[in-house]
Structure 1
Amino acid sequence: MARNATTSAFRPAPALPAAPDEQRTRPVAASEHDLLTLARALVGQLDPDAVVPLLRRRRVMPAGIGPTCAALLCQLLGRGSVIALARKGAWRAQDSLVEGGEEVARGRLWQKRPAPALRFGPATMRLLRHLAGEPQGKKAKGFSLPKKTTLELGDELMLYLACELLRRAGYGEVLSSWPAVRNSALCWLGHVDLLVGAGEKKRPSEAALAAFHPRWVEGAGATILEALGPELARRWLTVERGKGRIVQAQPLAALGEAQDALLCALSDAADRAGRRDLLGFVLEAGAALLGPRPTARLFIAGLTQAAQSGAHLAERQAAARGAGALLRGLSAFAVWIEEARQVRFFDDDYESAQLLLARWAPYGNDRHEHAEMLLRELGSLQTLARDDEAAGTSTE
């Protein structure tokens, strides 16, 4: 790749051809070393703490990169992204549906389907240059892409991994001002708590939601989403357990609205593609969340402080309802389970129905009944009144 060709598409590269030692160890420029270091951090080969100094400083980046750096980036991103997906969840031996929904694939992900041959276009180079050149922080410049930029699957995966890197490095607050991230359905799904903003930015755009089908429920996109399932379950569980610490009504309501939009769009897309199993992360998060039989206060404890600060009852009602977004997602999955229970042994989709029932089992009817009870409580004025009374405030 020539130094002035910053927008050439990346593709996973084969092993570099044999070369003399002095060619294989040819040095790269300092700015190129930074790009390679950040790429290693994105795919999980370096701890986020190792790149914090790079994320803090400003560097004037040259117009392009040399062929040695380009070849190394191709190898690093192509191979590193597949290894990253394997670590996040592709290692699990778990049955899944085949597109169309009537057949079941068994085994670990790479045994069921080939590892995705990801491509990385100009957006990935722009992302790396932004991370290497712009200091991150509260006043950081948002990362955007030209309007006509086409995002490859690899590019969007890198955006997702960049969100994770910045979150773990302590710069997660900058992401809500990144247009490129806010336009990504995958980034919203994994980092909804960081992307929720105010006003028109409080939920994913219609374009981002529409991208779930077919991009993330068919082909390589579905493989990526399946690999990320365990991580998505942990992320959504963390968000749910943190809702009670949100002490303002509007942010809690906005978070719930964004979650509702994401789960509705993904459920519709997965249903159309015959990949209902891709919502398995919702069941995993729900099973862990509801196992201890939490009360409604887990979700709305902070609204008591909102009442003390003068938030109107209608605002707190909207927030309490929003707090139940994951529970509503579980209720939607329960509808699929009822359909699966009606499938008979000699029906064509019997095997896929049994797979969904097996996914449901760890969550189970007891947790589902508790989730329905919590939803009723979150929608009740009496719940807010009890919290106000316990805190010595009055419901308006």
Structure 2
Amino acid sequence: MTPPTTLARPPQTAQPPAAPARVSRSEAELLTLTRAILSPGPRYLPSLRQQPKRVTRVFSIGPTAMGLLQQTLARGVTLELLRRGGWQTRRTLVNGVVERGNLWQRHPTLPPLQFGRPSFELLAWLRSEDVGAARTLSHDTTPSLADDLLHYFAAAHILHAGGDLHQPAFARSPLCQLAYPDALASEQPLPQLDLRALVHGEGAIIVEALQPELAARWVAMEQAKPEIGQIERMTRIGQAQTHVLTSWFRAIDTESPPRRDLAGFLADAARELLARGPERQCPDHTWWISGLDLRAPLSARQAAFVGAAAFLRALGTLGVWLDEAGLVPHFDEDYEAAQLLLSSWKYLHRAPEPPAPPPARATNQAQLPAAILDRAKLLATQLQSLHSLGPPADVTEPP
């Protein structure tokens, strides 16, 4: 991953130019689609909604095109990790020691990313299917971390094209679960995955690079909740968020020392959502459920309120971790990790910006605590206690 510092010396004698690689039209389309998925920034890919379907899902590729595909994946995925956050200067734990710098400074050598059959099946599926009405995508072999990362990159393009992620291949992707629990939420609970592969080795390096993007995803999830009108939809999203974060917190604490710094994207999302400054007001508890159609039984509404508070409730775990970090003595082997947490998340225990005057329409905002964690706890409590309002007049609780 280390950027080159010198250029190779040109040959002393002129060499004939290499013949350009020749691939079939279908192989060229696959390569073009791969490059588009690994390009910076979200953009609409019309080929993902191609109708009628041009080819069957059975697809083969020659050795020349396969070599080009492997080269495209190896270079494109690395560049995307750097673009999406690896370029930022951060402090993280590396083998139990705090290291500062961008991704390639903290990790001079990156374990090779091995792309397997699931990556090829994904790309062939994207080329041959309309993602708005696609056939099932499921893998017979266990995807590697590299395969999982490619599914994560593809997920954003599928959603941008108007498709959905309700496919076994995405539901069983650890990175997709971590970033898109709202898009994966359905009547069936998410599969229980072991996320420990993402908290050590190359998995931890990937999550370190994606911290800014994961934070933006969770901010977008919360900001979309006021637009949700269906009680059932809010409940399912909250259950999916709780499911994923519970698994993530459990995986983080399996490491020694725990990689709690890998939950930094949640702290960053909390600062974006709950910090009150001169230019914006912190929302009150009804903001999360302002779009809900409350013509439902009391139990259904209460489940939706609990779902709406899933993110706020999870922030309590970050508060517990901060309290535990403050009790670690300097001679403890986890002292450096604890100090990293205390210094990186100190804004959660204090007001990051001076408070703004409360608007006249929402005087109860003036009583919100200044600290982000205290504010999240109060908002979650208020949300989950809204059942005290009682059922609407035209809806009665079933016996």
Q: Same fold (TM over 0.5)?
A: yes
Partner residue in 2 for 1:323: 308
- Residue 108 of structure 1 aligns with which residue? 102
Instruction: Quickly say closer, same or farther: Cα 1:117–1:110, change in 2 above 3 A.
Output: same
Q: Distance in 1 between matches of 2:215 and 2:272?
A: 9
Partner of 1:362, secondary structure, is helix
Q: Which residue of 2 aligns with 1:122?
A: 117
Deviation at 1:341, TM superposition (A): 0.9
- Cα separation, 2, equivalents of 1:229 and 1:145: 27
Alignment partners' CA distance in 1, 2:381 and 2:42 = 43
User: 2:72 aligned to 76, 96, 100, which one?
Assistant: 76
1:53 aligns with 2:47: yes
Residues 395 and 357 of structure 1: is their aligned pair in 2 closer, same or farther, counting only changes over 3 Å?
A: farther
The verdict on how the C-alpha distance between 1:45 and 1:70 changes in structure 2, with shifts beyond 3 A counting, is: farther
What SS is found at the alignment partner of 2:90?
coil
Larger helix proportion, structure 1 or 2?
1
- CA gap of 1:60–1:364, structure 2 versus 1, over 3 A, is same
Q: 1:212 aligns with which of 192, 195, 212?
A: 195
Shift in CA distance, 48/68, structure 1 to aligned 2, threshold 3 Å:
farther
Structure-to-structure mapping, 1:90-169, within 5 angstroms: 90-99=86-95, 102-113=96-107, 114-137=109-132, 139-146=133-140, 149-169=141-161
**Does the alignment pair 1:226 with 2:208?**
yes
* Aligned-partner residue type, residue 325 of structure 2: A
Paired letter, 2:223: R
Once residues 361 and 47 of structure 1 are traced to their aligned partners in structure 2, the CA distance between those partners, rounded to angstroms, is: 32
Say whether the 8 Å CA contact 2:42–2:156 is kept in structure 1: no
Deviation readout 1:14-59 (Å, 9 max, x if unpaired): xxxx995462x2331110111101111221268633x313541422
Compared CA separation, residues 371 and 46, structure 1 to 2 (3 A): closer
Q: Give the distance between the partners of 2:179 and 2:59, measured in 1 at CA.
A: 32
TM-score normalised per structure 2: 0.83
Say how many residue pairs are matched. 355
Q: Distance in 2 between matches of 1:212 and 1:70?
A: 30
Quick check: 2:48–2:161 contact (8 Å CA) kept in 1? Answer: no
CA distance 1:116–1:81, shift in 2 (3 Å): farther
Task: Tell me if the contact between 2:38 and 2:76 (Cα under 8 Å) persists in the aligned partners.
Answer: yes
Secondary structure, aligned partner of 2:151: helix
CA distance in 1, matches of 2:374, 2:42: 41
Matched with 2:291 is 302
2:337 corresponding residue in structure 1? 352
The corresponding residue for 2:355 is none
Cα distance in structure 1, aligned partners of 2:223 and 2:98: 33
Report deviation, 1:136.
Answer: 2.2
- Give the structure 2 partner of residue 379 of structure 1: 384
> 1:362: how far off?
2.7
Q: Sequence identity, in percent?
A: 39
Aligned to 1:11: none
- Kindly provide the amino acid, as one letter, of the partner of residue 134 in structure 1: E
Cα distance in structure 1, aligned partners of 2:298 and 2:267? 32
Contact residue 377 and residue 383 of structure 1 kept, 8 A: no
Deviation at 1:169, TM superposition (A): 2.5
Equivalent residue, structure 2, for 1:12? none
Q: CA offsets, 1:129-166, max 9 Å, x none?
A: 111111221x32121122xx021111111111110111
Contact 1:284 1:363 in 2 (8 A): no
* Gap change, CA 1:279 and 1:255, over 3 Å in 2: same
| Contact 1:296–1:378 (CA under 8 A) maintained in structure 2 | yes
Give the counterpart of 1:31 among 13, 18, 26. Answer: 26
Residues 377-396 of structure 1: CA deviation (Å, up to 9, x unaligned) = 011136755xx88xx98886
Shift in CA distance, 190/159, structure 1 to aligned 2, threshold 3 Å: same
TM-aligned CA deviation for residue 361 of structure 1: 1.7
1:260 pairs, out of 242, 252, 273, with 242
Given that 1:243 and 1:323 are in contact with CA atoms closer than 8 Å, whether structure 2 keeps it comes out as yes
| Unmatched runs of 5 consecutive residues or more in structure 1 | 1-17
